[in-house]
Amino acid sequence: MEDIRNLFPTEEMYNEFLLFQQMNDEERKNFANKNSIRFNSLSKEEQKKELADIKSGIEKTVEFTDEIILIEKLGHLPEYVSFSKIAKKYFGKTSGWLYHRLKGTLINGKPVKFTDEQKNKLADAFEELSKEFNKASAILRSVS
């Protein structure tokens, strides 16, 4: 998994997240109470800034997970099909290029992803390969 540090707007939020992961239920309740008290003690401007930071982190996380989920949705397909050949034939790119987009790899601090056109092209490639597999399957069954 990629370094998730980039999903946090501030280093402080990242460090709090790391601590939160290791807390038990009681510690998490105390953490939430302390954060609530701290937040309420901030000025309105500071509260707005913190809420904007939280919103930014949530948006980055949603974008990041949307891309990560793409590789998960493909299941075992990458194990059985040559993605390097798909990358070269359909995109004129390397397998690394394709895998970076499937996995949402962080490059220059941002997850790389497919454009809508590229997603459609990949879907077309899968459909074309599906037809080839079905054709081969039918041939094998008829030879029996």
Does 68 share its domain with 81? no
Q: What would the 3-class secondary structure string for 3-16 be?
A: CHHHHCCCHHHHHH
Whether the Cβ atoms of residue 98 and residue 91 lie closer than 8 Å to each other: yes
Do residue 118 and residue 68 come from a single domain? Answer: no
Residue 107, classed as helix, strand or coil, is strand
Instruction: Assess whether 8 and 56 both reside in one domain.
Output: yes
Q: How many domains does the chain have?
A: 2
Please indicate, yes or no, whether residues 61 and 105 belong to a single structural domain of this protein: no
Structural domain for 98, as ranges: 76-144
Q: Do 52 and 65 fall into the same domain? A: yes
Helix 44-73 with 95-103: angle, nearest 10 deg:
130
Consecutive sets of 10 residues in the chain, 144 residues long: mean pLDDT of each? 72 88 92 93 94 87 70 79 91 92 78 89 94 92 81
Task: Tell me, yes or no, whether 48 and 107 share the same domain.
Answer: no
pTM: 0.54
Q: Look at residues 15, 115, 11, 6 and name the one whose alpha carbon lies nearest to residue 59.
A: 6
